[in-house]
Amino acid sequence: MSSSEVNKLFSLQGKVAVITGAGGMLGFHHAAAILACGGQPVLLDIDLAGLQRTQALLNKEFDFDVISLECNITNLSELMGVRQAVLKRYSRIDILINNAARNPKVETAENSVNFSRLENFPMDQWEQDLSVGLGGAFNCAKVFGGYMASSGQGGVIVNIASDLGVIAPDQRLYRVDSLEDHMQPVKPVTYSVVKHGLIGLTKYLATYWCEQGIRCNSLSPGGVFANQDDVFVSKLTQLIPLGRMAQPDEYRGAIAFLCSSASTYMNGANLVMDGGRSVW
Ligand SMILES: NC(=O)c1ccc[n+]([C@@H]2O[C@H](COP(=O)([O-])OP(=O)(O)OC[C@H]3O[C@@H](n4cnc5c(N)ncnc54)[C@H](O)[C@@H]3O)[C@@H](O)[C@H]2O)c1
């Protein structure tokens, strides 16, 4: 295979990719992967400052005009407005990356109730986490996937799940020895539910629009190193065969692969990139 054939395989020239949660840490790298392949990312996020940060970083790395739109993916009418704006500007949508999440925090409560524990976890937080992580992905599939299915040009949907969409969180990672059991911090239940749900949504979408040429896969990243505390990192890396957490740019190749013709026969799959954590 020649290098020009490889370039052609990964080329996203002329393709428009809508990326949700693009104002966050990995959203920037997904957008960078799309740009590196010659595609046009459209950045969506509820966080305007985050969008501005991503745009500034992209401007540093690429000499390319990128649009970003402030938008709440739980709001269907906002998404319809975004679709209209994107089609007005580019006349096409080819790729959707469902990346946005609330990423519920592991809470360490010293003197009161620990609300991240299942026994205390509030229903309204359950609803909000699911509404963004699953409801938002569903809305975006409806709005952008629905358009791609009707366009006659096919398309690609990538759902960003997690290694915790495949395995349960190991709550021992979050343990604080000085706290009693009922106060121990835990990874909230909604994280697991959202990520497992996204893998289910992936399979549903992979078969739903297959005749319209829409492929849908999920990417399950392992934890990214972001200056977490040393004890946590040391406990976690012992569970990872590669012996380290991921760097934030290590998923760029997977995004390029999943969005391009390099993966034309991949549909309904979950690409797990977790340093081997889930196989141990
Ligand atoms: N960082 C990791 O270690 C890791 C590991 C595995 C999976 N993931 C997954 O990768 C994705 C990106 O992770 P990240 O670390 O960049 O997270 P992040 O928190 O930095 O980014 C998530 C973005 O989603 C946006 N968002 C939240 N609610 C929204 C809404 N209603 N409408 C529009 N945007 C909304 C946030 O504003 C934020 O910018 C997430 O789905 C996350 O669960 C991350």
Contact by Cβ (8 Å): 134, 198:
yes
Contact by Cβ (8 Å): 201, 159:
yes
Give residue-wise pLDDT tens across range 46-95.
999 999 999 999 999 998 889 999 999 999 999 999 999 999 999 999 99
Instruction: Output the CA 29–ligand 1 centroid distance in Å.
Output: 12
Residues 6 or more apart whose Cβ sits within 8 Å of residue 238: none
For tokens 């966050």, the residue is: 24
Entry pTM? 0.98
Where residue 75 falls (left for φ over 0; alpha for ψ -120 to 50; beta otherwise) is beta
Instruction: Output the CA 263–ligand 1 centroid distance in Å.
Output: 24
> Is residue 111 predicted with pLDDT exceeding 70?
no
For tokens 């937080």, the residue is: 125
What pLDDT score does 197 carry? 98
Nearest Cα neighbor of 129 from 156, 101, 149 is 101
% residues pLDDT > 70 (the chain): 99
Query: Averaged over 113-129, what is the pLDDT?
Result: 95
Angle at 169 between CA 164 and CA 174, to 5 degrees: 130
Distance CA(202)–CA(218), nearest Å, equals: 6
What pLDDT score does 27 carry? 98
Instruction: Output the CA 102–ligand 1 centroid distance in Å.
Output: 6
* Sheet strands (E) in 114-263: 155-160, 214-221
pLDDT band at 110 (very low <50, low <70, confident <90, very high): low
What pLDDT score does 108 carry? 79
**Residue ranges lining ligand 1, Cβ < 6 Å:** 20-21, 23-27, 45-47, 50, 72-74, 99-103, 132, 136, 160, 162, 221, 223-224
Minimum-distance ligand 1 atom for the alpha carbon of 28: 16
pLDDT band at 235 (very low <50, low <70, confident <90, very high): very high
What pLDDT score does 158 carry? 99
